[in-house]
Amino acid sequence: MPGTLLRGRILTFHSEPQGPDDTACYSYIEDGAILMHDGRITASGSFDDVARNARWSEVVDHRPHLLMAGFIDTHVHFPQVQIVASWGAQLLDWLNDYTFPAESDYADAQHARAMAGKFCSLLTDHGTTTAVAFCSVHAGSAEALFAECAHRNMRVVAGKTMMDRNAPMGVLDTAQSGYDDSNALIEAWHGKGRASYAITPRFAITSSPEQLAMSGALAKEHPDCFVQTHLSENHDEIAYTAELYPQARDYLDIYQGYGLLGHRTLLGHAIHLKDRELGALAETGSHPVFCPTSNLFLGSGLFDDAGLRARGIRNGIATDIGAGTSYSMLQTLNEAYKILQLQDQKLHTLRAFHWITRGNAEVLGMADKIGTLDAGTEADVVVVSSTATPAMALRMARAETLFEELFAIQMMGDDRSIVQTYVAGKPQKDQAE
């Protein structure tokens, strides 16, 4: 059957921009087209070229909007959808007051299924087509999210959170049950369709040495799975962690000692790091994940993107819903820009949009599948408007370059800027225009 042809202005990245004048890192086509068939992009280029050489059953004309690869969120908490914008505290208080009570509700499989549908819709409404998600401690929450994503043919990396101490009973497992449940979920979902599994000890405070050892065993037994956890978000957290693991050289050494580091490891926050930790991150190829709206909301600190990159460390960027305050990767870039400004670090807009597309795909080792509009990749496409609000339209009346337009979207855009989101070639929003 012929495919669907999207028409609009195309922007896709081929490499990480080295500066605002690096025009070789991307392709921009004023009158472009993307041909989608059976969940994949089969052709991408100028409208005349694609139309001349392709057959299609439908043309969707999105001009004058931008067509970009779907956004990728590398750290988000599925069970926290109902506690976004809960009155601020710092990390440990926020977990006890809001997070753990909300996550205990996911023992109810019906509740987990209902929230999975709402969660995925919120992601796609904001232009996100791939998410790396923490589920609750309950295996049923992971089942619900994987099933919802399978229904939508949506790429997901997720795992059942493992935590066996320092939290209420309703959100605790045991070292053995965490291992067993994770193993069963890996067997059921990992590598099936567009799903990947992430071994998910929440962090060292809520996992005993026995549980971290079991997590390391899972990572060794399933080396193609991801590992996700948290690292050095908050000074009180770091101090408490040091009390619980007095033999460790530093926070990262705990995970390192249990074999949890590597190029498929994602470490949320990673703000307050020692020099030895930086060296270990670089040596193991592990990935810190910058969560700007969360870091500001909880007052956690300022992520040193330039310092990490100078050590050869590749960072992800993410919303961290629900301490994060927006599902929008555009708003995530907005706050990231400000955090880096405070440290005299510049996030120019080409690198920003590369970061939430091809950059995060590289962090996941999936740049051959997602993050670009290259032929052969999965047909995850977002349609972005730079005039979605009156304020944006007023700004765009004076914009003269693509760079200016993108920067306005980066700073002023949100879900209103997302005209349509295609997941595996299928539109997710009710209204395309």
Dihedral pair phi/psi, residue 90, rounded to 5°: -90, 175
**pLDDT, position 281:** 98
**Residues sharing a CB contact under 8 Å with residue 412, sequence separation 6 or more, in sequence order:** 334, 389, 391, 392, 395
* pLDDT above 70 (res 188): yes
The answer to whether the pTM exceeds 0.85 is yes
Q: Prior bond to 64 cis, omega within 30?
A: yes
* pLDDT above 80 (res 431): no
Q: Which is nearest to 207 in space by CA: 139, 272, 260, 262?
A: 260
Over residues 41-70, the pLDDT tens digits come to 999 999 999 988 888 789 999 999 999 999
Percent of the chain with pLDDT over 90: 94
Q: What is the mean pLDDT of residues 341-353?
A: 97
* pLDDT above 80 (res 343): yes
What pLDDT band is residue 1 in, cutting at 50, 70 and 90? low
Q: What is the mean pLDDT of residues 306-315?
A: 98
* pLDDT above 90 (res 39): yes
* pLDDT above 60 (res 141): yes
Mean pLDDT is lowest, of 97-106, 150-159, 271-280, 282-291, for 97-106
pLDDT mean across residues, the chain: 96
**pLDDT, position 430:** 80
What pLDDT band is residue 432 in, cutting at 50, 70 and 90? very low
Q: Which is nearest to 254 in space by CA: 289, 212, 287, 308?
A: 212
Query: Residue type for 95, please?
Result: L
Over residues 363-403, the pLDDT tens digits come to 999 999 999 999 999 999 999 999 999 999 999 999 999 99
Q: Is the C-alpha dihedral spanning 260, 261, 264, 268 positive or negative?
A: positive
Over residues 232-267, the pLDDT tens digits come to 999 999 999 999 999 999 999 999 999 999 999 999
**pLDDT, position 57:** 82
**pLDDT, position 327:** 98
One DSSP character per residue, 235-262 reads HHHHHHHHHH-TTSSSHHHHHHHTT--S
